A and B are shown apart, each in its own frame.
Chain A
Amino acid sequence: MSRHLNAHCPVLLALCLMLAACSDTPEPAGFAGLGADVTEEAFAQPARGDDLRFPDDFGPHPDHRIEWWYLTANLTTDEGEPLGLQWTQFRQSLVARNPLTPAPPAHRWPLEAGWMAHAAVSFREQHWFAEKLARGGTGQAEARARPFEVWLDDWHLQATAPGHWRLRVRDQGWSYDLRIQVEGDPVAHGDRGFSAKTAGGEGSMYFSLVDLAIEGEVTIDGMTHAVAGRGWFDREWSSQFLKAGQQGWDWFALHLDSGDKLMAFRLREEDGGYLSGSWVTPERAVIPLAAGSFSLEVTGQRQTGAGTVPVQWRIRVPQQGVDVTITAPPGQYWNDGLFPYWESPVSVRGSHRGDGYMELTGY
């Protein structure tokens, strides 16, 4: 959840600057615009007590400043080699619009929102990343709830049948085409979907699909690999939930062999930061994790071309008997877009085994 938000804050800042450069719309205030006074620009602000609505919340929220659709996958090739995938699509509003109000016609080339998509493949200690940008309102990039569909150019996530999705991404030298079976209902984080990001109560609406069975093909440098594995899908939207002084973001989404799922994040600050998470049982019961109920500890660093990155972590959730070490595979996993951040698959060892994804920003 919040991870992406922070993770992509620099990217969003770039997006905001770009949008501001080509319109008279004032640049949003605060960190990536997320600290702006939403009442001034009529953006809606999530608050404790708000409810999730399905399937509408799979679609866009034009009355909110920012939202994203995020998918990661821990896959294995036919040869048994691990392969990680990421796809994220962001929408950043410049103008708030009531969802019931029709969008301006496409021939006016409206600039209500900017879209950005990221995709990455991690395989054999190498990392491929691509980024795309688009303006909303022309049909080049959009999202729909019914039927569920999110696209930017030819990068396309779409529901092909109830409970079945397809994700296609293509870039120079690599591509993937995944068939995704969605198992289970959405998992609401925080308080019925409201996920606090600061002690002051700012936050976002956030839910996940934590049981995605994935198979498909990944082509790298002309060689196609059949892949299969499991994935994690996030939806999150907000207008303002960060505060000044937050330096970066550490976020984890883990699939444990016990069938449990763990999502944990930390917004780093001078005095330690704000921690939160969710423990999801095999029955998909969600237990919110507050700051005192789990711990994150860096146990290993790696020198990379773009700085030192904490690639090994110890996570403890005493109430669930969890004491695991999270490790990124060898290699460098920078998503080198407008503003770089780290996005890598991880392995889980210790009291539990498993895999998952880790996102780190601000390093």
Chain B
Amino acid sequence: MTLFAALFSHYRRHPLQLLALALMIVLATTLWTGVHHLTDRARVSLAESERAVAGQQQLVRDDGQPVTVQDFANLRRAGLCVMPWLEVRRPPPAGRVIGVDPFAATCFGDQAPGQAGSDALNGEPFLDIGEAAQLSTNGGEGVLSLLVPQTVDPAQLPPGYQLRGFSLGPATGELGESFLLNLDALGVLVLLITALLVRSVYQLGLVQRRESFALLTRFGVPGGRVWGWLLAEMAALTALCVLPGLWLGRWLAALLGGGFGAALENLFDTPLYAVGAGGVAVPALVMGAVVLAACFADRRLLRYLPAARYVGTWPAALVGLVVGLLLVRFATVLGWLFAGIALVFVAVGVLTPRALAGMAQWRARAGEGLGKWRRRELAVVFRRLALPVVALQFAVAMVLAVQALVSTFENTFEVWLGQRLEAEFYVEVPAFVAVADGVHYLDGLAGLGDWHLVQRGRAQLESAGGTPALPQVDLFAISPVGPLVTGWTLLVAAPDAWSRLAAGEGVMVNEQLARRQGYEPGDTITFRLDGRARTLPVLGVYADYGRPAGEILTAGQVLPAAFQPRFVSFSINPGALAMDDVRQGLAAAWGTEALTARDNQSIQTLASGVFDQTFLLTRAITVLTLVLAGASLLIMGWVFFTTRVWYYRLLSVWGLTRREAANQLRWLAVALTGCVALVALPLGVWLTWVLVARINPLAFGWSLPMAVYPGFWLEMLGWCLLIGVVISLLMGRQLRGLTPAPAMANVAAGGER
């Protein structure tokens, strides 16, 4: 028998252990590859969005109609440097592509959109506009824009066209990157949990193989050679398992790509572009390194030391915990925040098994007989299964926190949406009609309920010195400011905020803008509208969930007469009238038949759909991680308890019936997983607070109220107890088997009595 065959024979005797290792590596690779692929793709998309349209402007038609290829030809023949930009949105997971015409782009020189060197406009998401047009006719949704260089003189524009800024979304600062950093952190947590689980299973196996190693040593095989073969064995296993994991990860990314793309678009107005498939080298190398490091980071293993010793000491862990908590509380940069979270997790990971074991040992001092034995055995189990226990604790805490975040957001969002959608109907004002005709008609309508006019546009923020270095923001003008808006809950407000807003004596800003620019009630804000600068006090800050742009809310009378809104609509409560009559009356006043009236419910449904898409990925990752951790603990628990079967059979020697012995084991297993759930709870609640109060404002621009969901805690506790019950049932089967040979007694996994 060769050395390798002798070593590998362990897995012939314990195929389940091999299966557990393989399963963990495959699942973890799948998860991490999926997350990595999506975030990588999103980063490219963010970069493309910023790079591609930085400082560009476009030509639009005066009549509001979309531009066409005929407009392009007319403008080029008029001597203007114009290039077409056809964005085609394809159904998931294909992603968005941009059709460009390299010939037309030559007149831009180095200023061409997307220019970043010699490979400008080359490769995904860019493709020839002819191909993009073909995609748009095959089910994609294409939007054509005509870009012009910054140097174009507005006075030289042909009649019928005007200049507009060109961007793929509002200025969102670093929010997009923060969002991805969030996902990265989630991915790192997945890696950490994987490493803990793999290490624990592997260490368990090494303990079982101690006798084999000792035998080999007696035959004269050097320890280094054994170590080398073990390394090769694990490297081969990792390589074999990483490959299907990579493939499954890609599949997962494709599956979640649609929801993820929608989330990016909803949160940051950044589409997920079609980009190259991305390399597999990084995920493969990272997984390989994690698995090998987890297994071989501590070479003392080869000296056949008993399994899992906890890294570090509890005083160091306590210091780490305090430092981590302080960092999380006071960090203003997401990177430091994550560092603090990592410290807290490491400290908790070190302290939890020690604390649980100590508690069980302490409780064992009281009581007598079986009770004392159970608690002491529980203390042994906590020490022996320290790593999977911590892994499950982390996974449960993560699930608790993410669930709380999503539920909190869902509830807050619903309340907020309810306030925002106070009116029953929303009528979009068509292009080419006089808004005043509609206002006049509604003013004279007896029996009509509350209504107001909404005008949306853009405003340029200015600093006090008049330097236009600040970003553009959305403008949201309402007239009259009435009961449909004054019920909004403001985050902070000056006295008489609504009445002063109605009088045009100030503005309100959304939370995103307030956080970004540091506005508070009482501050003044200067913004430019159609060439005129205005300085008004900030009267309040309102919540504005689910979108990235900064926004100013003002009364309609503040707008200059020449203000050109981008979107105009009426919010209407029909009161005693039938909405259909009101709609027909408005259509008649404007002399048009094409009038869109949307009811409250349809907008609610739309918003809920957006919400679900936004958190699809987050939910998927957490649930899959929990499945990974739960399955691993199940396998680990089973393997571990199997190694102690000989010991549990002694219960029969002590006079317990088989049923009574099985009950003892059930108690042990359920106590183990139940305790894990209990210690995960404070960590989960703390993590919830971190997500809503610390990470969310940094990553998304808005905060959420802190809320806890005890119902879900019970649900998680139930799942953990179920895992314990399943372990005990499996153990029951083991106990019914044949009595092992006495020689096995000193092979004794764990070695503790």
Residues of A near any B CB (own CB < 8 A)? 18, 21-24, 106-111, 114-115, 132-135, 138-140, 151, 153-154, 156, 170
In chain A, what residue has the closest Cβ to B79?
Answer: A154
Q: Which of B69, B107, B127 sits near A138, CB closer than 8 Å?
A: B69
B-chain residues with CB within 8 Å of residue A154 when the two chains form the complex: 76-79
How close is B8's CB to chain A, nearest CB, in angstroms? Answer: 51
B165 CB–A CB distance under 8 Å: no
Query: If A23-B128, A109-B133 touch, does A139 touch B103 (CB 8 Å cutoff)?
Result: no
Chief secondary structure at chain B's binding surface: helix
CB pair B128–A133 under 8 Å, yes or no, is: no
A138 to B70, CA, bound (A): 7
- Chain B, 58-108, CB within 8 A of any chain A CB: 68-70, 72-74, 76-79, 84, 86, 99, 101-104, 106-107
CB pair B102–A21 under 8 Å, yes or no, is: yes
B-chain residues with CB within 8 Å of residue A115 when the two chains form the complex: 103
A-chain residues with CB within 8 Å of residue B68 when the two chains form the complex: 107
A139 to B84, CA, bound (A): 13
Query: If A140-B76, A154-B78 touch, does A109 touch B103 (CB 8 Å cutoff)?
Result: no
B174 CB–A CB distance under 8 Å: no
CB pair B77–A107 under 8 Å, yes or no, is: no
A-chain residues with CB within 8 Å of residue B127 when the two chains form the complex: 22
B122 CB–A CB distance under 8 Å: yes
Q: Which of A109, A134, A156, A170 sits near B69, CB closer than 8 Å?
A: A109
B-chain residues with CB within 8 Å of residue A153 when the two chains form the complex: 76-77, 79
CB pair A109–B73 under 8 Å, yes or no, is: no
CB pair B79–A170 under 8 Å, yes or no, is: yes
B134 CB–A CB distance under 8 Å: yes
A115 to B106, CA, bound (A): 13
B129 CB–A CB distance under 8 Å: yes
How close is B133's CB to chain A, nearest CB, in angstroms? Answer: 5
CB pair A111–B130 under 8 Å, yes or no, is: yes
How close is B126's CB to chain A, nearest CB, in angstroms? Answer: 9
Q: What would be 11 A-B contacts, judged by CB atoms less than 8 Å apart?
A: A21-B122, A22-B102, A22-B128, A108-B137, A111-B128, A133-B106, A138-B69, A139-B70, A139-B73, A139-B77, A154-B79
In chain B, what residue has the closest Cβ to A168?
Answer: B79
Q: Which of B73, B102, B130 sits near A140, CB closer than 8 Å?
A: B73
- Chain B, 104-159, CB within 8 A of any chain A CB: 104, 106-107, 122, 127-134, 137
B-chain residues with CB within 8 Å of residue A23 when the two chains form the complex: 128, 130-131
A24 to B78, CA, bound (A): 31
CB pair B86–A109 under 8 Å, yes or no, is: yes
A-chain residues with CB within 8 Å of residue B72 when the two chains form the complex: 138-140
B-chain residues with CB within 8 Å of residue A114 when the two chains form the complex: 103
CB pair A140–B99 under 8 Å, yes or no, is: no
CB pair A138–B73 under 8 Å, yes or no, is: yes
A-chain residues with CB within 8 Å of residue B77 when the two chains form the complex: 139-140, 151, 153-154, 156
CB pair B103–A18 under 8 Å, yes or no, is: yes
A140 to B133, CA, bound (A): 17
How close is B226's CB to chain A, nearest CB, in angstroms? Answer: 56
CB pair B101–A135 under 8 Å, yes or no, is: yes
How close is B664's CB to chain A, nearest CB, in angstroms? Answer: 71
A115 to B130, CA, bound (A): 16
Which 6 residue pairs of A and B lie closest in terms of their CB atoms, listed nearest first? A139-B73, A154-B79, A22-B128, A133-B103, A109-B129, A109-B130
A110 to B70, CA, bound (A): 13
A154 to B107, CA, bound (A): 13
B-chain residues with CB within 8 Å of residue A151 when the two chains form the complex: 77
A21 to B119, CA, bound (A): 11
CB pair B73–A135 under 8 Å, yes or no, is: no
Q: Which of A22, A24, A106, A133 sits near B70, CB closer than 8 Å?
A: A106
CB pair A109–B102 under 8 Å, yes or no, is: no
A156 to B76, CA, bound (A): 12
How close is A118's CB to chain B, nearest CB, in angstroms? Answer: 13
Q: Which of B70, B74, B103, B132 sits near A134, CB closer than 8 Å?
A: B103
How close is B78's CB to chain A, nearest CB, in angstroms? Answer: 7
How close is B72's CB to chain A, nearest CB, in angstroms? Answer: 7
In chain B, what residue has the closest Cβ to A116?
Answer: B103
How close is B501's CB to chain A, nearest CB, in angstroms? Answer: 47
CB pair B103–A107 under 8 Å, yes or no, is: no
Seed contacts A22-B101, A114-B103, A138-B69; 15 additional CB < 8 Å A-B pairs = A18-B103, A22-B127, A23-B130, A106-B70, A108-B133, A109-B69, A109-B99, A109-B129, A110-B130, A111-B128, A132-B107, A133-B106, A140-B73, A154-B76, A170-B79
A132 to B79, CA, bound (A): 12
A135 to B128, CA, bound (A): 11
A180 to B74, CA, bound (A): 25
A140 to B129, CA, bound (A): 14
B-chain residues with CB within 8 Å of residue A138 when the two chains form the complex: 69, 72-73
A109 to B134, CA, bound (A): 9
B-chain residues with CB within 8 Å of residue A18 when the two chains form the complex: 102-103
In chain A, what residue has the closest Cβ to B81?
Answer: A153
A6 to B131, CA, bound (A): 32
In chain B, what residue has the closest Cβ to A338?
Answer: B106
A23 to B130, CA, bound (A): 8
A170 to B70, CA, bound (A): 22
In chain A, what residue has the closest Cβ to B84?
Answer: A109
A38 to B101, CA, bound (A): 27
How close is A199's CB to chain B, nearest CB, in angstroms? Answer: 36
